[in-house]
Amino acid sequence: MPERIRGLSAIISLMLVTVALALGYWQVIRADDLLGRPTNPRIIEEERRHLRGRILDRHGEVLASSKKIGELAERTYAYAPLAHVTGYASTIHGKSGIEEAYDPFLRGDRGSGLLTRLQRRVLPADQVGTDIVLTIDLELQRVADGVLGNDRGAVIAINVATGEVLALASHPYFDPNTLDESWEQLATDSATPFVDRATQGQYVPGSVFKIVTASAAVDLRVADPNERHRHEGDLVVDGFRIRNTNHPQLTDLSWAEEFAWSCNPMFAYTGLSLGFPGAADFNVMSSPQPFTFPSVSVAASVDRFREYAQRFGIGQRVPFDLPTSAGRISSGPSMTAVELANTAFGQGDLQVSPLQMALAAATIANGGVMPAPYLASESRGPHGNTTLHRGGETLRRVVSPATAAAVNQMMVLSVDTAYAQPARIAGVRVAGKTGTAEVGAGSTPHAWFIGYAPADRPGVAVAVIMENRGSGTQFATPAAQKVLEAALRLGY
Amino acid sequence: MTRGIRSTELGLLIYSIALLGAASMLLQLVRGGSTMQAHLAAVFVFAMLLLSIHVALSMRLSGADQALLPIVATLSALGLVAVDRLEPSFAPRQTLWVALGAGALLVSAFGLPRVSWLARFRYTWATAGLLVLAATVTFGVDPNGSGTRLWIGAGGLYFQPSEIMKIVMVIFFASYLAEKGALIAHAPLRVGRLALPPLAYLGPLAAMWALSMAMLVWQRDLGAALLFYVVFLAMLYAATGRTYMVVGVFLLIIGAIASYNLFDHVQLRTRIWLDPWSYATDDSYQIVQALTAYAAGGVVGSGLGYGYPEYVPAVHTDFVLAALGEELGLIGTLAVVGLYIALIHRAFRIALRAESDFSKLLAAGLGTTLGFQAFVILAGNLGIIPITGITLPFLSYGGSSILANFIMIGLLLRISAESASGRPARA
> Domain of A285: which CATH number?
3.40.710.10
pLDDT attached to residue B426: 41
Q: Establish if A5 belongs to a structural domain.
A: no
What is the extent of the structural domain holding A435? 143-174+193-374+392-489
- For residues B57 and B410, give the distance between their C-alpha atoms in angstroms, rounded to a whole number: 10
pLDDT at B195: 61
Q: How far apart are the first and last CA of chain A?
A: 93
* A100 within some domain: yes
| A59 plus A150 within the same structural domain | no
**How far is Cα A232 from Cα A243, in angstroms, rounded to an integer?**
10
Q: Where are the beta strands (DSSP E) in A231-375?
A: 235-237, 240-242, 252-254, 291-292, 369-371
Is B189's Cβ below 8 Å from some Cβ in A? no
Pick from A151-155, A183-187, B18-22, B159-163: least confident: B159-163
Assigned domain for A22 exists:
no
d(CA B66, CA B72): 11
Chain A positions in Cβ-Cβ contact with residue B372 (cut-off 8 Å): 12, 15
Which among B184, B243, B340 is the top mutation candidate for probing chain A, defined by the most A β-carbons within 10 Å of its own β-carbon?
A: B340
- Cβ A8–B288 below 8 Å, yes or no? no
Interface contact A22-B379, CB threshold 8 A = yes
Using a CB-CB distance cutoff of 8 angstroms, which residues of chain B are in contact with residue A34?
Answer: 291-292, 294-295
The count of structural domains within chain A is: 2
Whole-angstrom CA distances from A362 to A312, A466, B343, B357 are 11, 20, 76, 94
Say yes or no: A370 and A282 in one domain: yes
Strand-strand pairing, A291-292 and A235-237: parallel
Probe site for chain A from B336, B348, B362, B381 (most A CB atoms < 10 A): B348
Please tell me the distance from the alpha carbon of residue A158 to that of residue A166, in angstroms, as a whole number: 6
pLDDT in tens, chain B (427 residues): 578 889 999 999 999 999 999 999 999 988 888 888 989 999 999 999 999 999 999 999 999 999 999 999 999 999 999 999 998 889 999 999 999 999 999 999 999 888 888 988 888 887 887 787 777 777 777 766 666 677 776 555 667 777 888 888 899 889 888 887 777 766 656 666 666 666 666 676 667 667 766 766 676 777 888 888 889 889 988 988 777 778 778 888 888 888 888 888 788 888 888 888 888 777 888 889 999 999 999 998 988 888 888 888 888 888 899 999 999 999 999 999 999 999 999 999 999 999 899 999 999 999 999 999 999 999 999 999 988 878 899 999 888 899 999 999 999 999 999 987 765 444 3
Q: What is the DSSP letter of A149?
A: T
Q: Is A119 touching B (CB cutoff 8 A)?
A: no
Burial class (CB in 10 A: 0-12, 13-18, 19+), B379: buried
At B6, give phi and psi (nearest 5°).
-110, 75
List CB contacts (< 8 A) between A123 and chain B: none
Residue B93's nearest CA partner among B80, B74, B110, B76 is B80
pLDDT at B423: 55
Beta bridge partners of A433: A450
Q: What is the mean pLDDT of residues A21-25?
A: 96
Same domain (yes/no): A208, A100:
no
> Do A329 and A270 share a domain, yes or no?
yes
In a domain, A29, yes or no: no
- Residue A97 sits in the same domain as residue A156: no
Rounded to whole angstroms, the Cα distance separating A465 from A198 reads 9
Say whether both A229 and A323 belong to one domain: yes
- Averaged pLDDT, A281-294: 93
What does the alpha-carbon distance between residue A363 and residue A450 come to, in Å, rounded to a whole number? 12
* A26 in B contact zone (CB under 8 Å): yes
Both A92 and A216 in one domain: the answer is no
Tell me which residue of B390, B393, B290, B377 sits closest to B340, measured CA to CA. B393
A95, part of any domain = yes
Helix H or strand E encompassing B110: helix B91-110
pLDDT for the residue numbered B103:
95
Residue B375 contacts A, CB cutoff 8 Å: yes
- 3-class DSSP state of A444: coil
What is the distance in angstroms between the Cα of B270 and the nearest Cα belonging to chain A?
18
DSSP one-letter code for A473: I
Q: Do B239 and A1 touch (CB under 8 A)?
A: yes
Tell whether A85 and A215 lie within a shared domain. no
pTM: 0.66
End-to-end alpha-carbon separation of chain B, Å?
A: 18
Say yes or no: A99 and A199 in one domain: no
d(CA B9, CA B12): 5
Q: What is the pLDDT of residue B155?
A: 57
Domain match, A60 and A168 both: no
Is any Cβ of chain A less than 8 angstroms from the Cβ of B234?
Answer: yes
Q: Which of these three, A78, A104, A130, is where a domain ends?
A: A104
Contact state of B302 with A117 under an 8 Å Cβ cutoff: no
Q: How close B242 comes to chain A (CA, Å)?
A: 9
Torsion angle, CA of B352/B357/B358/B359, rounded to 10 degrees?
-30
Q: With a CB-CB cutoff of 8 Å, which residues 92-121 of chain B face chain A?
A: none
Average pLDDT in chain A: 92
Judged by a CB distance cut-off of 8 A, whether residue A125 touches chain B is no
* Per-residue confidence (pLDDT) for residue B427, from 0 to 100: 32
Q: A460, A421, A461: which is closest to A211 by C-alpha?
A: A461
DSSP helix/strand/coil, B269: helix
A385 lies in some domain: no
A225 and A79 inside one domain: no
Using a CB–CB cutoff of 8 Å, tell me whether A17 touches chain B: yes
User: pLDDT grade, residue A124 (50/70/90)?
Assistant: low
Q: Searching chain B, which residue's CA lies closest to the CA of residue A31? A: B295
Helical axes A337-344 vs A299-311, angle rounded to 10°: 30
Q: Does the distance separating the beta carbons of A27 and B299 come in below 8 Å?
A: yes
The confidence score (pLDDT) of residue B54 equals 96
H-only helix segments in A25-70 = 31-36, 41-49
- Kindly report whether the peptide bond that precedes residue A454 is cis, defined as omega within 30 degrees of 0: yes
Interface contact A42, partner B, CB < 8 A: yes
Burial-class residue A127 by CB neighbours within 10 Å (0-12, 13-18, 19+). Answer: middle
pLDDT confidence band for A54 (50 / 70 / 90)? very high
Rounded Cα distance, B411 and B419, in Å: 12
Contact list in B for residue A13 (CB cut-off 8 A) is 341, 344-345, 371
* Together in a domain, A70 and A209: no
Q: Would you mind telling me the total number of residues written for chain A in this entry?
A: 492
- A10 falls within a domain: no
Distance CA B355, CA A160 (A): 95
Residue A132 lies in a domain: no
Minimal Cβ distance to B292: which of A22, A28, A40: A40
Q: How many Cβ atoms sit within 10 Å of the Cβ of residue A184?
A: 9
CB contact under 8 A, A39 and B281: yes
Residue B305 backbone class (left: φ over 0; alpha: ψ -120 to 50; beta: rest): left
**What CATH number does residue A78 fall under?**
3.90.1310.10
Per DSSP, B25 falls in state: H
Burial of B355 (0-12, 13-18, 19+ CB in 10 A): middle
Name the residue facing B298 among A6, A28, A33 (closest C-beta).
Answer: A28
**Exposure class string for A189-222: b at 16+ Cβ within 10 A, else e:** eeeebbbbbbbbbebbbbbbbbbbbbbbbbbbeb
A328 near A314, Cβ under 8 Å?
A: yes
Task: List the beta bridge partners of residue A75.
Answer: A66
